[in-house]
């Protein structure tokens, strides 16, 4: 599956990408900000490349969230999951989407992606 990764912590982004590749996925793009992610999505779209899934850090610093990215993906029928070190499943600020709380295991990441891919 071709996955967009949005994570503002460089080391975690690298580990996340490596884990996804080890699980058999392809990284369709990587970004640390909303602007970078939307630009990457637009570029991929113009090039005819598909993004099939989004793994998004919910909080991207300075009171910025990944909601605009999730909206772009969902409008195109692409499943999304959030990562967060600060939010919980009962956080009323979160839109309805699966959430993995950091730290998480590769098995948890894999199970969440597989579950969403099957449901899509």
Q: What value does the mean pLDDT take over residues 36-55?
A: 93
Q: Please choose, from the candidates 77, 66, 69, 75, the residue with its C-alpha nearest in 3D space to the C-alpha of residue 117.
A: 77
d(CA 61, CA 63): 5
Whether the per-residue pLDDT at 25 is higher than 90: the answer is yes
Asked if residue 102 lies in contact with residue 84, where contact means CB atoms within 8 angstroms, the answer is yes
d(CA 76, CA 70): 10
Whether the per-residue pLDDT at 113 is higher than 90: the answer is yes
Question: Rounded to two decimals, what is the model's pTM?
Answer: 0.90
* Average per-residue pLDDT for the chain: 89
Q: Please choose, from the candidates 107, 31, 109, 29, the residue with its C-alpha nearest in 3D space to the C-alpha of residue 99.
A: 109
């Amino acid at each position: 599956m071709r996955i967009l990764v949005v994570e503002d912590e460089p080391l975690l982004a690298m580990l996340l990408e490596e884990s996804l590749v080890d699980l058999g996925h392809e990284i369709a793009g990587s970004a640390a900000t909303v602007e970078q992610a939307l630009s990457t999505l637009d570029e991929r779209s113009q090039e005819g490349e598909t993004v099939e899934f989004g793994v998004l850090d919910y909080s991207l610093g300075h009171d910025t969230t990944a909601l605009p990215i999730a909206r772009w993906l969902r409008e195109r029928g692409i499943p999304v999951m959030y990562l967060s070190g600060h939010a919980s499943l009962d956080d009323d600020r979160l839109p309805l989407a699966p959430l993995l709380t950091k730290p998480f295991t590769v098995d948890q990441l894999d199970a969440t992606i597989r579950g969403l891919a099957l449901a899509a």
